[in-house]
Amino acid sequence: MSLRLRLALFGAAVVAVTLVLFGALLYALFARGVNTNQDDALRSRAHDAMVALASARPEDLTARAPLAPADLKTSTEVFLEVLAPDGSLVYSTAQLNGLPPGVPPALLAKSATTHGSFATAAGLRLYAQPFTSGYVVTGQSTRVPQSNLSGIVGFLIISGVPTLIAALAASWLVAGRALKPLKDVAGAADEIGRARDFGRRLPNRRSRDEVALLSISFNRMLEQLQDSFESQRRFVADASHELRTPLTTIQGNAGLLAHGPPVSEPVRRAAATDIAEESERMGRLVDRMLTLARADSGLRLDLAPVDLRSVVVDVTRQAAAVHPERAFEVDVVDASVAGDQDALRQLLWILLDNALRHSRSTISVGLSVESGWARLVVGDDGPGIAVGERERVFVRFYRSDVARTGQGAGLGLAIARWITDQHGGRIIAHQSKAGGAGLYVDLPLLRPS
């Protein structure tokens, strides 16, 4: 069953319940009014008869046969009976089954104490009231109020059926109009999914209802999907491009050694060296791509107290040992942060690797503390980073101008930013004291317990 049909049926059901309650209330009011009107008519007829009997002579109150009595099987008129004090019939204007309608003795006894009483017996509504020479009894068939109430029930049914049909039709139309924007959203989502056209957007609605909010949320989701899709597409394209170069070098040298003509020992050594270097480069690239993939999947680092000064000193010492041709200027102070020691080592190696590729002779490493923050600075004396590129260098696979283009794949600084974000810090690119590139990392200090 569709949502539109369920809403239409719900609307019709609400109208039906309302009609039933209204009909029951109206029926109760009419039933009370009809019965009251009948009792008032009987009481009024008895009063008129008593006024007439008050001036009658005693000889007029003798038993006599009724003249053209009404048949209560078919007649609904009010009839009159006059009874003697002992309850015997004196006169009647109606008959039932060939006999005057009987009056229950209990009604006469009750009317004598209450000066008028009602009772219902044998399908008749009776009213008895005593007077000086006996009792006056008026009555009428109970079919009269029933007939009136049957007319009310018929009216309610006849008017209720078209009302329900109209309510169902109106609910169907209103539900269709209300659900049309949702149907449009579903259709657009299906088309976008089939065509993978994440650049498409739903039209903005002027109203501020729930459907408009849904459209805004859906468009925002499409923007995020488009960004993610474009980022994934660029990542795959860039990764393929970066892996193609070392693979080409490895394949070419391997083919030369395996299937090429005989070569001299220096050429063979050079080819083997190229294979080893490109394999190492490709291994670093794959490792960094895996790191970024884990970051995209929501990987969270486990933070613990870390002596940042010892990490900086150890990594800088190792880098100086591997690159004796570079001069390292180190200026550090004591600083402890909440961090992941392995990730912080990786961060520092990325910064040093970037500086080693672009420095001429000197690399500076600094660690200072100020206002609850530890600042790590790695600078070089190379060409530096242009002002317009200082933010873009942290984008994956982005590499700066020709002067700073080396063997990197453009993933290191993206990983550095992720590691910094995981530690609640920030990283910026600026100028070093030597005029080259300076990378500044701010990390919150470990709070004393």
pLDDT per residue as tens digits for the range 34-55:
788 888 888 899 888 888 887 7
Ranges 23-32, 92-101, 398-407, 420-429: which has the least confidence? 398-407
3 state DSSP class of 96: strand
Domain covering 304-444: architecture: 2-Layer Sandwich (3.30)
Query: What's the chain's Rg over C-alpha atoms?
Result: 52
- 239-267 as b/e: b if 16+ CB within 10 A: beebbeebeebbeebeebeeeeeeeeeee
Summary mean pLDDT of the chain: 83
- φ/ψ bin of 97: left (φ > 0), alpha (ψ from -120 to 50), beta (otherwise): left
User: Which are the contacts of 139, defined by CB distance < 8 A and separation ≥ 6?
Assistant: 42, 78, 79, 81, 94, 101, 124, 125, 126, 127
Is the distance from CB of 103 to CB of 83 less than 8 angstroms? yes
- φ/ψ bin of 372: left (φ > 0), alpha (ψ from -120 to 50), beta (otherwise): left
Q: Residues 306-362: pLDDT tens digits?
A: 999 999 999 999 989 888 899 999 999 999 999 999 889 989 998 998 898 888 899
The residues facing 346 across adjacent strands are none
Residue type, 163: T
Banded model confidence at residue 64, pLDDT cuts 50, 70, 90? low
3 state DSSP class of 73: coil
Is the distance from CB of 362 to CB of 340 less than 8 angstroms? no
Average of per-residue pLDDT across 273-279:
84
User: Which are the contacts of 100, defined by CB distance < 8 A and separation ≥ 6?
Assistant: 66, 69, 81, 89, 92, 94
Q: Are strands 336-339 and 362-370 parallel, antiparallel or unpaired?
A: unpaired
Banded model confidence at residue 402, pLDDT cuts 50, 70, 90? very low
Sign of CA dihedral 31, 35, 38, 40: negative
Q: Residues 224-237: pLDDT tens digits?
A: 888 777 777 777 77
At residue 408, the pLDDT reads 54
Q: Residues 230-269: pLDDT tens digits?
A: 777 777 776 776 677 678 878 888 888 888 788 788 888 8
User: Which are the contacts of 203, defined by CB distance < 8 A and separation ≥ 6?
Assistant: 215
- pLDDT for residue 216 is more than 90: no
Banded model confidence at residue 98, pLDDT cuts 50, 70, 90? confident
- pLDDT for residue 173 is more than 90: no
Q: 309, 295, 366, 306: which is closest to 341 by C-alpha?
A: 306
Residue 264 half-sphere exposure toward CB, CA atoms < 13 A: 2
Is the distance from CB of 76 to CB of 34 less than 8 angstroms? no
- 225-234 as b/e: b if 16+ CB within 10 A: ebeeeeeeee
Banded model confidence at residue 67, pLDDT cuts 50, 70, 90? low
At residue 164, the pLDDT reads 86
At residue 88, the pLDDT reads 84
Specify whether domain 210-296 bears CATH 1.10.287.130: yes
Torsion from C-alpha of 371, 376, 382, 386, nearest 10 degrees: -60
Return d(Cα 410, Cα 393) in angstroms, integer: 8
